[in-house]
């Protein structure tokens, strides 16, 4: 017995075997074998629907040698140049053989370049594309990221959609036949539906359920939880804002890898970008406010209340179903970013308020709201009182300057 | 300078003994009775609005009970600074358990826990046990704005004193006394204006007075002075933020909110209180419209205390204001 993962074992070898996305397939092969007006193509769409698979299948059909880099490779400018530059400019060893037409560069998951460590990565890729003499194929889950803009401009874009359920069912059935495992039609349907159009996850699920069984029945898969396919933040936000109902949004929420506090803040950040209509925005914010109230009530104890947080969150993003217009998502949460950026200022503020608190028997919060505004006026006046106060409160120069600063 | 070298007038003129306290007759009389027989004094819970003398009276008790070295035997904590169960466990527990048998001159140690309605309920539960086990070595004075936020078991272990808002004439009287001591010219209209703006909060009233004195630098403090000082003391960003929200620019308004919370370190409660004040100064809203907005403010004010993220709640409030102004068909020219 082999112990290959089924996703590998049954990965389509030829373009014809790749299921779904017929238009995208045609468009891609057309680009690859006819004259390429753009030097690079960007295949985008959700995970597990066959983007990379299609590239390998096409390379097989048209005899290309695939040089691949993906998100796990380091994406600094240097790393990309080192690996990709020889592939695109120098003659490959195989160039003169009749077996292959040469190299094809696959940059998988370019939206992963977005991370902090990948500085200069996008620029490096643009440069490579411009100088390339070989086909370059990029894939991404999400192309709404601002940083990918330069790439979108110079690439031929091909969109991949979720694979339709009947196609997945048929594909799962072929696997079952090959593995000699009888399966009930309903069981395969549940698995396919549960995959939300992600063929790879459907196959993984099928293998999991068949591992311990000789036959696959409907009841076996009846109660599977939605796959933890782990939506990243972009998939989550995009999925939630483009969902057609709160139920759909909830499914995405349940499958998101993002913790709910980050989610709360991110939806908060992006809400006004999604809803232009004040009425709808107010309704959405009302729901978000309730989600936050329930998050507060949980207080790390009453986790059973989490479902209300999710319900209100799902509602807040689906007030206007069908009106989703792609926009650049704000992330990471503005509040966290600002808190980081202003931490020096707040440390100073805290020092001053602690001094006031100790002398005047109040909390730092009260010091900030009840004393500070008045002290600022007093310190702007440059009076005797100001210098006496500074001495009494033992304020250092930076604190004094802070108080003198207008506002 | 007299015995007190304090420069902040709120401290300089803070009463040092219960006898100096002019109002709150009932409260003061019962507390005096306790002080005559310290052993009979239960734990105390003071509830009331800001600036009504809760902390002052707690400090008077500490000074009268523990003498000149009261600072060594009284632990003064503010729950809003160090809230949570950890603070109770670490600081309060160690302090209250410490035996003071050898120091016969004091009856017991004192823990003054200010703003304890800010404590989480689990921290309050921990506190309740400590109050029980340490009652022979230690007394607690708990201070809060809202006694309803204190868990029942603690309330039942305390003698509860409610501090009512100061009478206007008492505040005026005190302001005039301070003005006299500081040799400043305070117009009687100005005193009344201070009272209006301080909403029964004596601390705020005195801070306004002191700032006005610096502002005028020896000249007469009149109504205009007070208006200017109060105007300068209320952050402009809040007014701007309100105007942006009311003219449909929610994202701009929200950016100002972020600034207020991060750069200026304001809490959500502070901001909503200021917003509330500002809103009612807006000229273009009718009484009826303002009344309509009160309900909205109240709701979000309440949610602030229950929610997890103040910026979400306040942004939601701003979104309601934007909708409100949109539905009335015009906008404040922010």
Phi, psi (deg, nearest 5) at residue B217: 50, 60
- How far apart, in Å, are the Cα atoms of A260 and each of A164, A199, A294, B36? 30, 27, 12, 56
pLDDT digits (tens, 9 = 90+) for A196-251: 888 988 888 888 788 777 888 887 776 565 554 567 777 889 899 999 999 999 98
Q: Do A281 and B323 touch (CB under 8 A)?
A: yes
Which candidate from A338, A369, A388 shows the least CB-CB separation from B266? Answer: A369
pLDDT digits (tens, 9 = 90+) for B245-301: 999 999 999 999 998 998 888 889 889 988 998 887 777 888 888 888 999 999 999
How many angstroms separate the CA of residue B251 from the nearest CA in chain A? 7
How many angstroms separate the CA of residue A233 from the nearest CA in chain B? 19
Locate the domains of chain B by residue range: 24-163, 168-230, 235-325
How many angstroms separate the CA of residue B185 from the nearest CA in chain A? 17
Q: Inform me whether the C-beta atom of residue A288 falls under 8 Å from chain B C-beta atoms.
A: yes
The tokens for A12 are: 């389509």
Q: In what order do the strands lie in the sheet with B138-144?
A: B74-78, B109-114, B138-144, B43-48, B158-163
Beta bridge partners of A67: A105
Assembly ipTM: 0.86
Task: Assign domain B168-230 one CATH number from 3.30.465.10, 2.40.50.180, 1.10.10.10, 1.10.8.60.
Answer: 1.10.8.60
How many angstroms separate the CA of residue A344 from the nearest CA in chain B? 9
DSSP label of A235 = H
pLDDT digits (tens, 9 = 90+) for B132-163: 888 778 899 999 998 888 998 899 989 999 99
The mean per-residue pLDDT over the stretch A69-97 comes to: 60
Closest Cα to residue A269, out of B265, B303, B251, B269?
A: B251
Q: In what order do the strands lie in the sheet with A155-159?
A: A64-69, A102-107, A136-140, A40-44, A155-159
**Measured distance CA(B192)–CA(A231) in Å, rounded:** 61
In the CATH scheme, what is the homologous superfamily, with its name and number, of domain B24-163? P-loop containing nucleotide triphosphate hydrolases (3.40.50.300)
| pLDDT for position B334 | 39
Q: Do A265 and B309 touch (CB under 8 A)?
A: yes
The β-bridge relationship of strands A40-44 and B74-78 is unpaired
Closest Cα to residue B191, out of B232, B231, B222, B229?
A: B222
Cβ atoms of residues B126 and B88 within 8 Å:
yes
The residues, ordered by sequence, that sit 6+ positions from A110 with a Cβ below 8 Å of its Cβ are: A42, A122, A125, A138, A139, A140, A148, A151
| Nearest residue in A to B267, CA atom | A365
A-B Cβ pairs (cutoff 8 Å, strict): 181
Cβ atoms of residues B10 and B207 within 8 Å:
yes
Question: For domain B235-325, is the CATH number 3.40.50.970?
Answer: no
The β-bridge relationship of strands A64-69 and B43-48 is unpaired
pLDDT digits (tens, 9 = 90+) for B64-106: 998 888 888 899 999 888 766 777 878 888 887 765 655 557 8
| Nearest residue in B to A294, CA atom | B307
Calculate the dihedral angle through the C-alpha atoms of B226, B228, B233, B236, rounding to the nearest 10 degrees.
Answer: 150
The helix or strand, by DSSP H or E, that contains position A372, with its residue range, turns out to be helix A372-380
Closest Cα to residue B198, out of B173, B171, B218, B224?
A: B171
Phi, psi (deg, nearest 5) at residue A105: -100, 125
The β-bridge relationship of strands B158-163 and B43-48 is parallel
Q: Which residues of A touch B262 (CB under 8 A)?
A: 335, 338-339, 341-342, 346
How many angstroms separate the CA of residue B214 from the nearest CA in chain A? 6
pLDDT digits (tens, 9 = 90+) for B218-254: 899 999 999 999 888 877 888 899 999 999 999 999 9
Give just the sign of the alpha carbon dihedral B157, B86, A343, A234: negative
Q: Inform me whether the C-beta atom of residue A358 falls under 8 Å from chain B C-beta atoms.
A: no
**Measured distance CA(B37)–CA(B307) in Å, rounded:** 44
Interface test with A, best of B244, B308, B318 (most A CBs within 10 A): B308
The mean per-residue pLDDT over the stretch B118-145 comes to: 87
Q: Do B80 and A366 touch (CB under 8 A)?
A: yes
The residues, ordered by sequence, that sit 6+ positions from A59 with a Cβ below 8 Å of its Cβ are: A65, A66, A104
Q: Do B316 and A349 touch (CB under 8 A)?
A: no
Residue with more model confidence, B142 or A7:
B142
The tokens for A132 are: 């390339």
The tokens for A149 are: 């803009």
Which candidate from A295, A366, A381 shows the least CB-CB separation from B308? Answer: A295
**Measured distance CA(B220)–CA(B185) in Å, rounded:** 5
**Measured distance CA(A332)–CA(A339) in Å, rounded:** 12
């Amino acid at each position: 017995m082999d112990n290959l993962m089924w996703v590998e074992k049954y990965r389509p070898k030829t373009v014809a075997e790749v299921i779904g996305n017929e238009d995208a397939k045609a468009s891609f092969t057309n680009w690859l074998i006819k004259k390429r007006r753009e030097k690079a193509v960007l295949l985008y769409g959700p995970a597990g629907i066959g983007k990379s698979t299609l590239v390998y299948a096409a390379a097989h059909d048209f005899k290309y040698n695939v040089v691949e880099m993906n998100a796990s490779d380091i994406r600094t400018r240097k790393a990309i140049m080192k690996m990709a530059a020889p592939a695109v400019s120098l003659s490959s060893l195989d160039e003169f053989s009749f077996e292959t037409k040469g190299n094809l560069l696959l940059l998988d998951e370019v939206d992963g370049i977005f991370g902090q460590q990948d500085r200069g990565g996008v620029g490096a890729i643009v440069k490579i594309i411009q100088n390339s003499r070989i086909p370059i194929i990029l894939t991404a889950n999400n192309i709404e990221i601002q940083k990918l803009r330069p790439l979108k401009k110079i690439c031929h874009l091909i969109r991949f959609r979720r694979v339709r359920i009947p196609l997945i069912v048929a594909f799962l059935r072929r696997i079952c036949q090959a593995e000699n495992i009888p399966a009930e039609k309903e069981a395969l349907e549940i698995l396919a539906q549960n995959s939300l159009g992600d063929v790879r996850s459907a196959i993984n699920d099928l293998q999991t359920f068949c591992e311990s069984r000789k036959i696959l029945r409907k009841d076996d898969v009846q109660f599977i939880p939605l796959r933890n396919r782990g939506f990243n933040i972009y998939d989550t936000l995009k999925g939630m804002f483009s969902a057609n109902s709160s139920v759909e949004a909830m499914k995405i929420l349940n499958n998101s890898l993002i913790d709910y506090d980050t989610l709360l803040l991110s939806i908060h950040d992006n809400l006004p970008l999604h809803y232009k209509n004040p009425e709808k925005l107010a309704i959405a914010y009302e729901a978000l406010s309730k989600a936050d109230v329930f998050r507060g009530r949980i207080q790390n104890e009453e986790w059973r209340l989490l479902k209300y947080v999710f319900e209100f969150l799902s509602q807040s993003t689906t007030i206007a179903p069908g009106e989703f217009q792609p926009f650049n998502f704000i992330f990471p949460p503005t509040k966290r970013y600002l808190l980081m950026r202003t931490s020096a200022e707040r440390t100073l503020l805290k020092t001053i308020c602690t001094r006031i608190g100790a002398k005047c028997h109040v909390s730092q919060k009260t010091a900030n709201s009840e004393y500070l505004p008045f002290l600022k006026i007093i310190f702007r006046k440059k009076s005797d009182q100001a210098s006496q106060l500074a001495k009494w409160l033992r304020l250092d120069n930076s604190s004094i300057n802070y108080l003198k600063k207008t506002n | 300078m007299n015995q007190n070298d304090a420069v902040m007038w709120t401290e300089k003129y803070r009463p040092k003994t219960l006898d100096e306290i002019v109002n709150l007759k009932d409260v003061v009389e019962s507390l005096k009775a306790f002080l005559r027989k310290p052993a009979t004094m239960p734990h105390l819970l003071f509830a009331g609005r800001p600036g009504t003398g809760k902390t002052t009276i707690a400090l008077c008790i500490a000074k009268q009970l523990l003498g000149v070295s009261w600072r060594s035997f009284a632990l003064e904590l503010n729950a809003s600074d160090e809230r949570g169960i950890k603070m109770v466990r670490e600081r309060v527990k160690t302090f209250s358990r410490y035996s003071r048998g050898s120091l016969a001159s004091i009856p017991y140690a004192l823990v003054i826990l200010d703003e304890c309605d800010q404590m989480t309920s689990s921290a309050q539960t921990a506190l309740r046990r400590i109050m029980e086990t340490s009652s022979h070595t230690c007394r607690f004075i708990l201070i809060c704005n809202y006694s309803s936020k204190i868990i029942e078991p603690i309330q039942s272990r305390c003698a509860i004193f409610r501090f009512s808002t100061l009478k206007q004439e008492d505040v005026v009287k005190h302001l005039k006394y301070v003005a006299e001591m500081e040799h400043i010219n305070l117009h009687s209209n100005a005193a009344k204006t201070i009272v209006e703006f301080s909403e029964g909060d004596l601390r705020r009233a005195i801070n306004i007075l002191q700032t006005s004195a610096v502002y005028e630098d020896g000249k007469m403090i009149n109504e205009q002075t007070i208006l200017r000082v109060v105007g300068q003391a209320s952050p402009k960003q809040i007014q701007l933020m309100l105007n942006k929200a009311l003219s449909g620019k929610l994202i701009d308004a929200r950016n100002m909110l972020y600034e207020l919370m991060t750069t200026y370190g304001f809490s959500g409660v502070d901001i909503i209180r200021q917003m509330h004040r500002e809103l009612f100064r807006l000229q273009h809203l009718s009484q009826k419209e303002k009344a309509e907005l009160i309900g909205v403010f109240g709701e979000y004010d309440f949610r602030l205390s229950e929610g997890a993220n103040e910026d979400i709640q306040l942004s939601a409030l701003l979104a309601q204001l934007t909708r409100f102004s949109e539905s009335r068909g015009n906008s404040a020219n922010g």
